[in-house]
């Protein structure tokens, strides 16, 4: 329970941030290439080979012009011609090898980053996902990871390749004619100055592009899933959503135009500088040829080398610009990977081999965190924020119990000083108005959240001391909103127990009163349920969820409104099945239909995050309090 707070980070504009190309960040990036040391070494060797081979072509051309043709030496002419044919073949072969090795490095880095990012996201607490848009996460996993891959697979390799080519060409050029070499490199400082000035601009544009793409992706994920589409259609907001998407797509378009424009400006300046250097060299070199200070073949070879040097240097100075740009992607990926894990397993966590099912809560208090710590920046939705009431509620506001209680459930603490004990095999029922804290309480038992104060024990162990996987295996939960994957009924059921046999599958389905329905479907258990199970009714989805958790066969069962969407006949059949299961499991049940929990061993009546009444059905009726009022309202209309 709490208030919506606008994340202060959502007001930071990308262009206000200064580029942060720190050495620690670069080292972290390079670290992702370490597992691929052999491929990188092979790439460098290939680069050296095809670079060296390429440097021979101008020398062969020089020999052809200065000696073979003037002297009419056919043998030399034939050898030079064969050399000009063979060298590109050898160079091309090693370029193919180099490109394959680079691809292995790049795709490997993508794989490592994605898995690392996805694994970290799976470890994040439920709070993180309630405060983060799906589109933003998808953008980090796709766009940003690919952008980060560019830094290693293309940019770093390009820098190394061009550096080797520049050094090699300069050595050969200085050997041919050192004065022309000085003329050729006199404009190189202008290249560096241009790259440094435009690099920061490219970086800021790239950062803004990634943020705008994330916002656009968030809009698509919100409004193109089945729930979003249904909401848009029911409220007639198609034009509003198209306009909102159009605005964000337009921002992406404008930034794309800016990036392309700046890119062509950079290329034009570079080509102009190249033309100046080339004109100087050919002008002076031509004059020296006229004075017969060196041969025509030399100036032709020198021109070829000069062109290669400028091309390599252009790529070399452009690579840091691309590298700085791709660093934005790495920063965004690392921002997620570096987020702290709130619900963390201890290093010396205790394995839970056998589970009796005793659950004890001792003075448990819980408050939903309302800080921005550990969260990503919000995606701004100003047209919605203006009308937001700011109250975060729990449960179904149209619940019949809500209409019985006129007092507001708004408060600072979601749960306050909760204590009770559920013995092995007990059925504990939670009742009370929506927003009273029932669902929050059930979320604490499987450690979806940790208590702010107090202790929750399972079989005498503090939950925070147990292994997370053992805890998950011991507890089965049917949530208020049933989620099904876009897959077959069988696949959705087997998610609880992949090793279950077909016989066990049918047994669980029968217990949940869904087997007959499945059998009557044309494809039976192989029927596709659709996006989030929308091809099924609410009651059918809920019974599938019950069958799924029964297939898991946990020692502790938590049911949050597990029968709320069932008709009276289905509810009665499921109630019989559940009553048989309750005898061997510790069960905690939230039910607005009080008929489903009349036989509970312990009924806890909650209001405003506190337990205000407790006892059996008869004891609570005799008490004449809130429970008696709820019961009388439902059964004595």
Identify the pLDDT of residue 7: 35
Q: What are phi and psi of 223, to 5 degrees?
A: -105, -10
Average pLDDT across the chain, whole number: 78
How many Cα atoms occupy the beta-carbon half-sphere of 217 within 13 Å?
Answer: 19
Identify the pLDDT of residue 418: 93
> Is the CB of residue 101 less than 8 Å from the CB of residue 43?
yes
Identify the pLDDT of residue 374: 61
pLDDT tens, 247-301? 888 888 888 888 888 778 877 877 787 788 778 777 887 887 787 777 888 888 8
Cut 0.75: pTM above it: no
Instruction: Grade residue 234 by pLDDT with cuts at 50, 70 and 90.
Output: low
pLDDT over 90 percentage in the chain: 13
Map out the domains of the chain with their CATH numbers.
26-337 (1.20.1560.10), 424-435+466-635 (3.40.50.300)
Q: Is the pLDDT of residue 579 over 70?
A: no
Structure tokens at 313: 């240097």
Identify the pLDDT of residue 408: 56
Q: Is the pLDDT of residue 626 over 50?
A: yes
pLDDT tens, 147-182? 777 766 667 777 788 888 888 888 888 887 787 788
Calculate the dihedral angle through the C-alpha atoms of 471, 476, 478, 484, rounding to the nearest 10 degrees. Answer: 90
- Mean local confidence (pLDDT), 382-386: 36
Identify the pLDDT of residue 258: 85
Q: Is the pLDDT of residue 132 over 70?
A: yes
Q: Helix, strand, coil % (nearest 5) of the chain?
A: 65, 10, 25
| Cα–Cα distance measured from residue 235 to residue 320, given in angstroms and rounded to the nearest whole number | 50
Identify the pLDDT of residue 396: 39
Identify the pLDDT of residue 454: 94
């Amino acid at each position: 329970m709490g208030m919506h707070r606008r994340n202060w980070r959502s007001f930071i504009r990308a262009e206000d941030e200064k580029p942060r190309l720190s050495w620690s960040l670069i080292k972290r990036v390079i670290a992702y290439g370490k597992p691929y040391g052999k491929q990188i070494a092979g790439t460098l060797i290939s680069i050296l080979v095809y670079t060296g081979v390429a440097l021979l072509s101008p020398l062969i051309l020089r020999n052809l012009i200065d000696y073979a043709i003037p002297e009419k030496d056919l043998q030399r002419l034939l050898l030079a011609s064969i050399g000009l044919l063979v060298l590109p073949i050898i160079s091309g072969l090693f370029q193919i090898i180099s490109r394959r090795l680079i691809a292995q490095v790049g795709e490997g880095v993508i794989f490592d980053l994605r898995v690392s990012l996805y694994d970290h996201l799976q470890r994040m607490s439920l709070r993180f996902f309630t405060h983060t848009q799906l589109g933003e996460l998808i953008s980090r996993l796709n766009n940003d990871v690919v952008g980060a891959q560019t830094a290693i697979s293309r940019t770093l390799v390009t820098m190394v390749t061009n550096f080797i080519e520049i050094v090699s060409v300069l050595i050969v050029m200085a050997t041919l004619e050192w004065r022309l070499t000085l003329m050729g490199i006199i404009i190189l400082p202008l290249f560096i100055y241009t790259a440094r000035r435009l690099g920061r601009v490219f970086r800021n544009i790239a950062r803004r592009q990634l943020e705008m793409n994330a916002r656009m992706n968030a809009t698509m994920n919100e409004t193109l899933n089945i729930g979003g589409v249904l909401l848009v259609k029911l409220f007639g907001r198609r034009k509003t959503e198209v306009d909102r998407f159009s605005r964000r797509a337009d921002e992406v378009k404008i930034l794309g135009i800016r990036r392309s424009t700046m890119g062509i400006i950079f290329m034009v300046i570079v080509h102009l500088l190249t033309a100046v250097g080339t004109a100087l060299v050919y002008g002076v070199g031509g004059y020296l040829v006229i004075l017969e200070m060196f041969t025509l073949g030399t100036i032709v070879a020198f021109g070829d080398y000069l062109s290669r040097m400028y091309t390599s240097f252009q790529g070399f100075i452009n690579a840091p610009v691309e590298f700085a740009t791709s660093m934005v992607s790495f920063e965004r990926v690392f921002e997620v990977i570096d987020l702290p894990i709130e619900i963390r397993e201890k290093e010396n966590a205790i394995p839970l081999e056998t589970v009796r099912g005793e659950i004890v809560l001792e003075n448990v208090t819980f408050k939903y965190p309302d800080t921005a710590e550990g969260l990503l920046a919000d995606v701004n939705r100003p047209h919605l924020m203006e009308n937001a009431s700011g109250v975060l509620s729990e449960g179904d506001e149209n619940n019949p119990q809500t209409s019985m209680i006129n007092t507001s459930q708004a408060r600072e603490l979601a749960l306050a000083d909760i204590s009770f004990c559920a013995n092995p095999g007990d059925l504990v029922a939670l009742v009370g108005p929506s927003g009273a804290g029932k669902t929050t309480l059930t979320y604490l038992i499987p450690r979806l959240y940790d208590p702010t104060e107090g202790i929750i024990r399972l079989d005498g162990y503090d939950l925070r001391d147990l292994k997370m996987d053992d805890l998950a295996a011991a507890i089965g939960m049917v949530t208020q909103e049933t989620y099904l994957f876009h897959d077959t009924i069988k696949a959705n059921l087997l998610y609880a127990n992949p090793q279950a046999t077909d016989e066990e599958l049918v047994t669980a389905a029968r217990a949940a009163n869904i087997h007959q329905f499945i059998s009557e479907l044309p494809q039976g258990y192989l029927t596709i349920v659709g996006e989030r199970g929308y091809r099924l009714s609410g009651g059918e989805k809920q019974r599938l969820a019950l069958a799924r958790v029964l297939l898991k066969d946990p020692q502790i069962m938590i049911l949050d409104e597990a029968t709320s969407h069932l008709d009276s006949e289905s509810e009665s059949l499921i109630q019989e099945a559940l009553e048989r299961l309750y005898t061997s499991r510790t069960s905690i049940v939230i039910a607005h239909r009080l008929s489903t929990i009349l036989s509970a061993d312990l009924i806890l009546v909650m209001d405003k995050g506190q337990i205000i009444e407790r006892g059996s059905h008869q004891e609570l009726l005799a008490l004449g309090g809130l429970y008696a009022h709820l019961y009388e309202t439902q059964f004595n209309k």
